[in-house]
A and B are shown apart, each in its own frame.
Chain A
Amino acid sequence: MQAAAENVFKALADPTRRAIFEHLARDGEQTVHALTYRAAVSQPAVSKHLGVLKRAKLVRDRRDGRETHYTAQPQALKPVLDWMSIYGVFWRERFDRLESLLKRMDQ
C-alpha cells in the first residue's frame, strides 16, 4: 500500500478522529473550539487529532485571526475505496475464472 493510503487508514483507525472527520464531513467548516466542544476531549487532544487528519489530507485548515478553521476533504478517502473495490472486483473476476475452469475439469 502507498504511504498516502497508509496515512488515511491509520488516521481513521481512531474512533475520536473518525468522529471529528465525520462531523466535518457532515456539517462543513468548523473551528477547533467548536470541535473540542463536541468531541468531549481536551483542545490539545483535538488539535493533535486534527494534525493526524491533516497529514492524511483528510482535512484542510485555514487561519482566520486567532482561530483555525477545518474542512473535511473526503476525496482523500479514495485509497480506501480503491482498496475495497480492487478486492471486490478482483475476487468476482476470479470466481468467474474458477467456474470456467471447473467446467473444463473432469469429475
Chain B
Amino acid sequence: MTTTAPTRSLVIEREMPHPAGKIWRALTQGPLIEEWLMKNDFEPQVGHRFNFRSTPVPNWDGVINAEVLVVEPHSRLSYSWATMGSTSVVTWTLTPTDGGTHLRMEQTGFRSEQDAAYKGASWGWTKFIGNMEQLVGRLE
C-alpha cells in the first residue's frame, strides 16, 4: 500500500530480467493476458471497451468492465477497471534497466459511476487509510 500521492491507491513494482518488448506482448496479447491475468477480449486500441472475466467468488461475479485509455508501445498501457460498483484505473509502465525491465503497476482511485461524491474524496482517503489499519488493529 503506497499512499504518498493524492489519488494513488495501489502500486506494485518489480524488476524483471526480460526485455520491455517481451513484457509488452504479455500485457497486450489476449491469449497471453489470459495466461497470467484473466480471460479477456482486449485489443491494444485506445477507446476499445472490453471485459476481464474470472471465476466468480463470494461477493464478486468475476467480471471487470474495462476501456483502453493509453497505448504507448513498450512503455505505457492504461485501462479503466470497473467492478462491484467502483471504477479505478490500472496503468502499466515499463522502463528499460541494465538487466531487463522495471515493471510498475499502479491502480488509482475508485469512484462510483453513479455517485459523483467519490470524486475529490481521494486525498482524504489516502490520509484516512493510513490510520485505518491501526484503528482496526486496536480492536483485537
Contact = CB atoms under 8 A, between A and B. Distances in A.
B98 interface: no
Given A92-B12, A107-B19, A98 B36 contact: yes
Range, interface on chain B: 35 or more
A91 B124 contact: no
A77 B9 CA distance: 16
B136 A77 contact: yes
A40 interface: no
A84 interface: yes
Nearest to A2: B59
Q: Identify whether the interface residues of A are mostly helix, strand, loop, or mixed.
A: helix
A95 B105 contact: yes
A101 B26 contact: yes
B59 A99 contact: no
A103 to B, nearest CB: 8
